[in-house]
Every structure is written in structure tokens, then in C-alpha cells.
Structure 1
Amino acid sequence: MSTPAERTPGFAVFSSASGQLARERARRTTSLVPAASVIAADEHTHVVLWGDLRHRTLDAPIVLTRGARTSRADVGPDEARRIVTGELDLRDVLPPFAAIDWDAALGRLVLVVDWLGMRHLYLSEGDGIVGASSSSAVLAGLSTDRRIDREAIGVQSLLGWQLGAGTPFAGVQKMGPGSRVTLSRGVLTSCEDPPAPVRDAPSAADAARTAANVLSDFVSVQLDGHPDTVLQLTGGLDSRLLLAAIPRNRRSSVEAMTLAVPGSSDVEIASRLVVDQGMKHRTVELRGLQALTDEDAWSLCAAAARDLDCSADPVAFASIRWADPAQSQQPRLAGLGGEVARGFYYFGPLAPVGVSRTLASVLAQWRLFPNERVSPDALEPAFAAAATEIAVDRVHDALTSASDTWWTATDEFYLWQRMQRWAGTLASATCFDRPVINPMLDDRFVRIARALPPADKKNMRFLSRILLELDPDLANIPLDNRPSPRTYAEPSAANRCRLAALQARKVVGKAQQRWSHVTHPPPGGELLAGKVVRHWRTDPQILDPLRHLGIFRQSWLEGVVTGGQPADPSAVALLVNLVVACGTVPALTAGSGSRFP
């Protein structure tokens, strides 16, 4: 059984005018988080630390991720303090990053998060006390009147993750991107650095050259400081860009690793690449899940939900955690962020259109919901209907606030919503496992991508041009079930026909998925979900807290525990999250003003 012995390192801080409330909340936190330590910063503010942080003091900033770095160097104690005080620009720090620091002179606890908000920290206010934590569930479990946020759960039942500042818990909000927050004498103040303005678009050629230089410079500096860095290599384009950014004369000394996903060509393509480059290669396989007992599978998924703050798919996370445990502490180069530069949500011709709720609904129903949505048949009809309306409204609001033009709005949505909230949830849960370095989240790279017009990003054109700048030979090798990057970079008439045919097949596949209500379970997800359901059937009381929420149909739940009703991985994921959330949330009614019945 590989369930972690203790929870991910984290913190909570409470501040009240008299100090008594803060002291009591800190004491109660230790009952929720075993082996935690409590520090009285002053009589008003109390800090709780757990996991590997529990022996830290408040004499120096506490960085809440392993291997924090800027584009040029690792972040040490001096740099961390300068980041907290604002002397160093947060945009120079690679996401995910967060830190807390006690300002003794002003009697306040200061928190900062990276410019993208990818490292998740949470806030709560009320009852004469303010709080902040790396865990929204810890803040929720300490309130005298804490409730599940039904609207947030409704959104998550469709997306599989949260939007904006939402959490599964009413009264608990996520800190925004680039935020600096202070807590002092029961008062919480917050300021947020606005996103960097989008500058005038460079030419496509200049953008590709500049971005290539950013990546090659970043990767070279990383290897200089950490020659044991491992490249996470797949069959896709994003990780191939990082391979190309490694100087040719250094590639043979770099180890690559690939996760073997059943049905994927990642291992086959990655193996060809590493052989050509003379690199070492390690393959991580999803072995051992079959041998797990049903009880162990449930424990693994419940621990995953806890570490994800019940805000993403714990079944998928548990499966990957099992396959790739944090045994090696070597830094890892990963390609997260490339999606921002390739028009991930583009569909159809790039006609000049504005943002509308109709288009937002199309995007939601065809691209955002299909992969992780819980089947409406499993949900109470009124809840499912309200969830759809609210989720589309929130997607529309996010798009409207991002840009007046549709295609740019979808790019911004991917960056500030999916990257921040979905990828950020996973990154926050694993940021103490090992240093994971994502060069394409360097602000310099992101600014170039944001400035480009959609036509230069569509069909991975921009990323493929970067690869041609870095290593033309690698651009000639086909991708996973797709043509070579050169095909995308050089849009000749023949290549346009090939890409149009590929796009047509993707549209047909997405339409079939939409009409059939079939989701795409994560690797190992069906196996793990099946074991969890079998465990519930031997101990059906586990699901009792969910029976009166009005979220899942009573008849459907009864069928699941009696064996007459199957539950797909998406439904199991939401059930696991709700069971774990309800374990620390005594009040489960909708909040005032809720749009749910």
C-alpha cells in the first residue's frame, strides 16, 4: 500500500483582534492534522505547520514548493524575502510558487502567490477571525457554520475542476494570481498584481526565434545548476520542444522518462527520440493497480482527494501517484504551458467574432464538459439542470472578462482558468514531491504567446515554428497519431489538406463523444474506480453523508451500493471528493442566494 504516511506539507494561519479565537482555531487545527506544530507569531496571530514544514520557524520566509526558481537561478532565503516584500517582481518567478513570511516590525503575516496563481492558497473571513491556508478543507473544517458550496460542486460535476476563486466549501476562496495578502489583528488585506499587458504582436518569425532563445537559455541554465535534471518526454510536441532546447552536446547526459499509458504511442515515439539522441530512458508503467485490495484503492483515492482539496479528479491523481511515486528527488523538466501557445480551444475558421453566451455554451458543451462530466442520469434532475446553467454562465463570465474577441478570450481562458485551476490543483498537490520545472510557464514565453494573433497559433503553427528554430531534424518526426511538426509549421496547400482532414476526424470524434455522453477515463481510472465501488458495497455507510445533499439521485446511489448500478470514473471521482469534503463539513445545506433547489 503506497498511501502517504502523512499529508502533504502545509500551513494554516489565524488572526483575531483579541487573539483568543486565533489561538483556539490553531489548537483545533492540530486535531484535524496530526503531528502539526503551532507557533504564536504574536498574541493575535497563530501559525500551524505540518508535514515537512512542522519544524520550521518564522525567522525566515517559508517557501511552499520544492525547487522554486526564477528564469536564472534557484530561489534561496534572501530571494524569497525580496519576493515577499516586492523587491523582486513576481513575474520573474516560475509558477507554481508561494511563500509566507512573518513581518515582526508590523506584526503581520504576509502571503504571496505566483503571477499565474498556480500554487493554490486559500482565505476565509468571518466570526471575528481571518484565516489562510494551503488547504481549503482545513479552513472549512474549522468553521462553526461550514457548508458545501453547491454551485461550485455543480460546476465541478461538469468540468471536473473549479473556476475562478471557487472551492467546494462555502466561505473559502482561492487567492488570486499575483496576490499579496496580509493578516494582522483579525484583519485581512489583499492586493493583486494585474496580468502583464499584452504588447504589440511581433512577426511570426521573430516570435518563434525569440521564444526558441527563451527556452534554450532557460534549459541550459537549469542543466548548469542541476545536471541531474530528468526530461519528462511524451510523443507530443510540448516535451519535444524541451528536448530540442537541450544543447545537442548535452543530450546524451540527460535522462528521459515516459509514462506508459495503455493505448498511447508515447513510449514508442519517445524511445525513438532518445535512441537517436543517445539518451538514457526510463519508462514508468501502471503496474500493481490490479493487485490492490478494494480497501486500499479506496484509501488511495481518499488520500488523493484530500491532497487535491476535493477540487479535481482523485481517481486519476491516485492512479498516476501509484505509477510514479515521489521516490526520486531529481528535478524534472516538463512541457506544461505549451497549450497556451497553440490555440487549444480553436474550432472552425477564425472569423472575427465577439464573445457571446451562445459561443460560450458551445465551447462548454463540446470541449469543456465531455471528458469529465458526471452523467446527468446519476444526478438529481434539478441539480443537473441548475449546474449546467451556472457552469455556462461562469464560463461566459470568464471569457467576457478576458477579451472582447472570441479567439483571444479562449486563449486567456485556458491560461487563467484551466492552467491556473486544473493544472494548478495538481501542481499544488505535488509541489513538495520533487522540483518540476515548466519552462513554457516562464513569463517571457507566455507574453510572446499572448501577443500573437490567433492565426499564428492555430494548428500548433507557432510551437512547430519554434521547433524548427531549435532543431529542424526533430521537426521531421511525426507526433502521436499526427503529422510531423514541419507539416504544421509550413502550411503549404498539401499540408493544409492534411491538417483539414485531421481536424475533420477530430470534430467527428468529439461529436460522437458528445452525442453518446461517453467520457474519457484517465489511465487506470476504470480499474481503480471499480475497486472503490466494490469497497463501498462492502461498507455502504461511507456514502451515507451524501444521501441528503440533493446532488446524486437516491435511486442511483442505492443501485451503486447494491450492485445493480455501475458508476463510471467521473461519477466515482465526484463521490470520493464529496465523501472526503463531508468528513470535515458538518453543515451541508446550500448557502443563501444559491441558484440550486
Structure 2
Amino acid sequence: MTITCGEFLAVSGRTAEAPFGPESARLSFPGGVVWATGEPRAGTGIALSLGPRDHAKGPLAPGDLAGRLRSGDGLGDIAAPYAAVLVDGDTVTAATDHLGLRHIYGVRGVGWAAISTSARLLARIAGAPLDLRALGAYRLIGHHLGVATPYEGVTKLPAAHRWRLTGGRLHEEPYPVPGFEPAADPVRNTARVLRDDVERGLDEHPDAVLQLSGGLDSRVLLAAVPPDRRRGLRALTLSSAESRDHTVATRLAEAYGLRRDVIDLGGLAALDPAEAYDLVHSAALRSGGLGSPIAFAVLDWAEARAPGEPRINGFGGETARAFYYPAQRQHHRPTPALVDRLARWRVFTLEPADPAMFDPEYAAETEAATLATLRDVFAAYDTDWLTATDEFYVRERAHRWVGATLTGACLRYVTLSPLLHPEFLAAARSLAPEDKRGSRFNARVLMELDPELARIPLDTGIRPDTLPSRGPLRSSYDFARRASRKVGQRVRNSGNPGVGVPTVTELLVRHWRDNPDLLEPVAATGLVREQWLAEMLSGARRPGEATAAFLAILEIAARPDRSA
């Protein structure tokens, strides 16, 4: 038997009061206590995501999850994203998936320790202050690095690791992850892996919904659906009616007989400022400041209108699409100069939090510290430069940015993510950089799965079957064109699922201006310059999404008691 819990806290070596309200259940173990929303039972695997499944065998059999948590064997075979815990005697064991996408957090005190689904809750229990260095990196990159959180001493469970909480101490250990030998024909083998995984997911969940956009990754997944199972398959598109995403997804749905739901994010414009604020505030509380609460608010709004059936999604496709290659040349090893250039051009977001909002010394110190951290991260990759950028995508951007999104999704619906399959990732890591540049590998896999689908243009206007023949200069041009279009979409407030972000940002700022007392906790941190805050509230400054998201994170993180 497997029990699913949405929120979880285990404390060893000290007492703890009920953190989740009257609906939470309490389970004592020697030296500690567990609180959870659900019905935690000793000796039973407690899933912190819906529908844990083994890539090779399907849904986990009763008792299987508990056995894997006890031994550590087989944890690497469970599909990402997942996290799970086991209360066994005087020990609580927690594990996350092989990529660390389902976030779970821990903290160590003097003679006590705790683990939880909420970093913010652990910070409240420990009285942990804000981690100014981690926040400095977040304001530049848009996600945290490594295992950092916004709170000092509160860390994330690393990928492919488990924690053992016992006797007031928290022990960390890796678990084995299956390895795969490079296939003689990686394109054909990957197509087989994806086809098998998608078919198995449809067998397990005949009501599954395909997340369908105008891009390459969802196209690959549609191609992996057997032709005789496409007609009548339910699909979902988050878009605006006039976007290219919508146009291409409509063409695919009509061509293959898909039953499609379209959620028009333009409907967010009908919200009033107070409603937008409530959405963002709730998202910030739920995520604990581990991702953009504005982007999460848009998703929350959309998900309230979306079907709750299991979802086949394209998360993970970028691990094989040479995300950081455009305008990059190959080098024997990463160097500080290469890292700094990549950071300022690609790793730091197109729109970081406004540096003018911070004391100049803090802004300069945190940028220097973040660059130093990135140099250390890249130096640890014992590989060539382009492959190092791929590793950074998997270990950092996917780990923390994609992971923060999936952490919120995996309790709303069963997530089926074939492109996170460890064999897909192993194939991507085994390829030479030139075989991945310009999405060549994913395009070849699509062509192997369904040549007809590969001939239909993407939302960019590019036909996938032309990608393998495009050279580096053409690929860089295509990237620049796509980047320019995405920036334009932000400015015009139209064109892709990001359409809702500028709308919610504007409404959120209007609510703050009408209720300036809400930002008093932010002012009390000393992180944001009083003059800048006054100018923003007066309308003299218009913050973008990253800046407003940072303020929303500070608003919930800086409350003295960190209450709602």
C-alpha cells in the first residue's frame, strides 16, 4: 500500500506543533514526530507525488516503495518527478528522484533536525534568517543554485540522494542510478524508448492528456503515440487565441483527430488587482520562494481550468537540445572567462531583478559571488566546454527551475514525463555536441518516430526535418530570431503561455500601490532601497516580472513569524 501526502514535516530531537492546520495527521516515532496532510503510517511508503511508477514496470506494487526506501535499491528506477518518505522504527527516510526535480528540504539544529516539503516552514521552526547570498544569485538567474534556498541553513535534498532522520541528526547518502551503455544507433534506440514509455503510460492511464504546444518537444511526444491511438486522444494547450502556439497546435489536433482543450491566458486580464495579488501571494506561500510566484500564479489560474487527469508533458526535452550552444564555440575545458561571458549573456536572465532596487554594494557583491559560484560549478565538470553547458542545464537549470514547476504540478495530477526517462538523458549525454546543436538530435528522433509530423512547421515556422542539416551560424540566427520574438511577446503581452505573466505583474504592482503597507516586511529587510521602493509605489518606476517576483518572495519570506 502507498499513501500520498501533500505536505509533510518530520522533526527529530525536539517537539513541534501542528503546522498544517486541523486537517493534518500526527504520527509519533521514537525521538520525534511526523505531521502530514494525509494519513501517514509507520512502515508504509508515503509518496509526495501522485502515481509513483517504475519506468520499466509501471505503477509500483504495494509495499514496493517502502522496500526501496529502506534499502536504497531501485530508487533510481522510479520516474521523475517523485519524492517519498518512510517512517520505520526510530528513523525517517526521505528520497527524491534521480534528477532531484521533486523538491524536499532539510535543516539541522543543535541536537535536532527536520525534513519537510516546505523550506519556509523549516526556516520558521529553526528561526533561520534570509540567505542574502542565495537571494543575490536568484535575483540574477531566476532560480537557486545547487541545494540553496532563500533561508540560511535550509537546504534541498540533492538529486539521487536520500536522507535518514534519526536521533536528532540528518544523514545524507547517494543511491545507485542505473547506467546505460551508448546505443549503436542512439536515434533509433531513443525513439523506441519514448514509444514504449508513452504506450505504457497510455495503458496505465487511458484518460491521459497530452500537453500540446507548437514546439518540438510536445511534437516528439505526439509522434511517440501510436497512430491508431491518436484519434480521440485528449490534448491541452495553454495559449492565447492569436498565438502561433495555438495555430500550430490547432493544425495538429485537426490533422490527427485530437480532442483538445484550449485555456486562453488572455482571460487573466479580467482579474482585478486584489485577485491577482491573492494568486501571487498563495503561489509564493506554496512554493516558499523557490521560484517565480508570478509564473506559478499564472499556472495556478490555468490549472484551475484544466482537466485533472494524468498529463503527458514535454519537460526534459531541452536536456538534448543544446540549450546554451547558440553563439558558442567549442573549447577544451571551461575557463573563468567563458563562464563569465555565458553567465552575462544566457545564464543571467533577459530581465533580472532591477539592480537599482538594491544597495550598489550589495548588487556588486552578489554578482561577483554568483560569478564565482558559477566558475566553481563549471570547473567541477571534467569535460569540454559545450558538454559542460549541457551538464549545467541538467544539474542546475532543470534541477531547480524545471523542478520547481514540477514540484507544484506533481500533486495536482499524475505527471508522465517520457523525456525525463534516464535512458533519454543517457543518450543525450553520450552524444557529441555537434549532434545536439540546433535541436538536431530531437529532430532526428521525431523523424524516426513520424516523418510526416517532422514536415509540419513548428511555432517558429521552421520544419523539424530541416534542423539536422542546419549549420551553427543558421542555428544561432534561428535562436536570435526566437529570442527576439519572445522578448517582443512580453512587450506586446501576447503570443505564448507567457502572455499571462506581464498581465499579472501589472495587476500585482497596482495592488501594492493601493496597499503599500503590504511591502513593509520588504522594507524592513534593508535589501531594497527605500527610495526605489517609494518610486515604485508612486508609479515613477515600473517593475518587470523578475523584479516584482523578487518583491513577492521577500514579502512572504521576511514576515517576522513567516505566517500566511
TM-score normalised by the chain length of structure 1: 0.87
Give the SS at the match of 1:259: strand
Letter in 2 for 1:120: H
**Is 1:78 aligned to residue 63 of structure 2?**
yes
Aligned to 1:391: 370
Q: How does 1:418-429 map to 2 (within 5 A)?
A: 418-429=397-408
After TM superposition, the structure 1 stretch with the greater mean CA deviation from structure 2, 463-472 or 345-354, is 345-354
> Which deviations, in whole Å up to 9, do the C-alpha atoms of 1:77-131 show, x marking residues without a partner?
3221122123642221111111111112xx2111111111111111100132101
> Which deviations, in whole Å up to 9, do the C-alpha atoms of 1:344-364 show, x marking residues without a partner?
111336433311111111111
> Which deviations, in whole Å up to 9, do the C-alpha atoms of 1:141-163 show, x marking residues without a partner?
112x4200000100110111101
Give the SS at the match of 1:555: helix
Do 2:320 and 2:436's aligned partners in 1 also have CA atoms closer than 8 Å? yes
Aligned to 2:42: 58
Deviation of residue 198 (structure 1)? 7.9
Count, aligned residues: 552
After TM superposition, the structure 1 stretch with the greater mean CA deviation from structure 2, 356-365 or 169-178, is 356-365
Aligned to 1:245: 224
Distance 1:520 1:451, change over 3 A: farther
Give the SS at the match of 2:114: strand
Aligned to 2:523: 547
Aligned to 2:8: 11
CA distance in 1: counterparts of 2:422 and 2:478, whole angstroms:
34
Aligned to 1:4: none
Match of 1:141 among 124, 147, 153: 124
Do 1:326 and 1:434's aligned partners in 2 also have CA atoms closer than 8 Å? no
Aligned to 1:504: 477
Deviation of residue 368 (structure 1)? 1.7
Aligned to 1:178: 160
Q: How does 1:3-152 map to 2 (within 5 A)?
A: 9-16=6-13, 21=14, 23=15, 26-27=16-17, 30=18, 32-50=19-37, 53=38, 55-71=39-55, 72-86=57-71, 88-104=73-89, 107-143=90-126, 145-152=127-134
Letter in 2 for 1:10: E
CA distance in 1: counterparts of 2:180 and 2:136, whole angstroms:
33
Q: How does 1:365-404 map to 2 (within 5 A)?
A: 365-404=344-383
Letter in 2 for 1:503: S
CA distance in 2: counterparts of 1:207 and 1:162, whole angstroms:
33
Letter in 2 for 1:73: G
Distance 1:338 1:512, change over 3 A: closer
Distance 1:60 1:372, change over 3 A: farther
Deviation of residue 196 (structure 1)? 6.1
Letter in 1 for 2:145: L
Do 1:64 and 1:98's aligned partners in 2 also have CA atoms closer than 8 Å? yes
Aligned to 2:442: 463
CA distance in 1: counterparts of 2:208 and 2:313, whole angstroms:
10
Give the SS at the match of 2:301: helix
CA distance in 2: counterparts of 1:577 and 1:532, whole angstroms:
13
Letter in 2 for 1:42: F
After TM superposition, the structure 1 stretch with the greater mean CA deviation from structure 2, 369-378 or 382-391, is 369-378
Do 1:366 and 1:510's aligned partners in 2 also have CA atoms closer than 8 Å? no
CA distance in 1: counterparts of 2:388 and 2:561, whole angstroms:
36
After TM superposition, the structure 1 stretch with the greater mean CA deviation from structure 2, 419-428 or 393-402, is 393-402
Deviation of residue 486 (structure 1)? 0.8
Give the SS at the match of 1:154: helix
Give the SS at the match of 2:375: helix
Do 2:236 and 2:262's aligned partners in 1 also have CA atoms closer than 8 Å? yes
Give the SS at the match of 2:342: helix
Deviation of residue 540 (structure 1)? 1.1
Aligned to 2:544: 568
Q: How does 1:150-549 map to 2 (within 5 A)?
A: 150-193=132-175, 201-202=182-183, 206-261=185-240, 264-325=243-304, 328-348=307-327, 350-489=329-468, 491=469, 495-496=470-471, 500-501=473-474, 503-504=476-477, 506-507=479-480, 522-549=498-525
Deviation of residue 262 (structure 1)? 6.9
Distance 1:510 1:272, change over 3 A: closer
CA distance in 2: counterparts of 1:512 and 1:319, whole angstroms:
21
CA distance in 1: counterparts of 2:112 and 2:515, whole angstroms:
39
> Which deviations, in whole Å up to 9, do the C-alpha atoms of 1:451-476 show, x marking residues without a partner?
11111111111111111111011111
Deviation of residue 580 (structure 1)? 0.7
Do 1:177 and 1:193's aligned partners in 2 also have CA atoms closer than 8 Å? no
Deviation of residue 293 (structure 1)? 2.4
CA distance in 1: counterparts of 2:306 and 2:219, whole angstroms:
25
Do 2:140 and 2:352's aligned partners in 1 also have CA atoms closer than 8 Å? yes
Distance 1:316 1:464, change over 3 A: same
Letter in 2 for 1:47: V
Do 2:295 and 2:501's aligned partners in 1 also have CA atoms closer than 8 Å? yes
CA distance in 2: counterparts of 1:258 and 1:308, whole angstroms:
24
Distance 1:99 1:584, change over 3 A: farther
> Which deviations, in whole Å up to 9, do the C-alpha atoms of 1:265-296 show, x marking residues without a partner?
11111111121112211111114422322222
CA-based RMSD: 2.4
Deviation of residue 513 (structure 1)? 10
Give the SS at the match of 1:543: helix
Deviation of residue 257 (structure 1)? 1.1
Do 2:41 and 2:87's aligned partners in 1 also have CA atoms closer than 8 Å? no
Give the SS at the match of 1:547: helix
After TM superposition, the structure 1 stretch with the greater mean CA deviation from structure 2, 501-510 or 82-91, is 501-510
Do 1:79 and 1:88's aligned partners in 2 also have CA atoms closer than 8 Å? no
Deviation of residue 509 (structure 1)? 7.8
CA distance in 1: counterparts of 2:305 and 2:105, whole angstroms:
25
Distance 1:432 1:76, change over 3 A: farther
CA distance in 1: counterparts of 2:113 and 2:377, whole angstroms:
27
Letter in 1 for 2:29: D
CA distance in 1: counterparts of 2:491 and 2:135, whole angstroms:
21
TM-score normalised by the chain length of structure 2: 0.92
Do 2:180 and 2:423's aligned partners in 1 also have CA atoms closer than 8 Å? no
Distance 1:303 1:404, change over 3 A: same
Deviation of residue 386 (structure 1)? 1.5
Distance 1:519 1:180, change over 3 A: farther
Deviation of residue 387 (structure 1)? 1.9
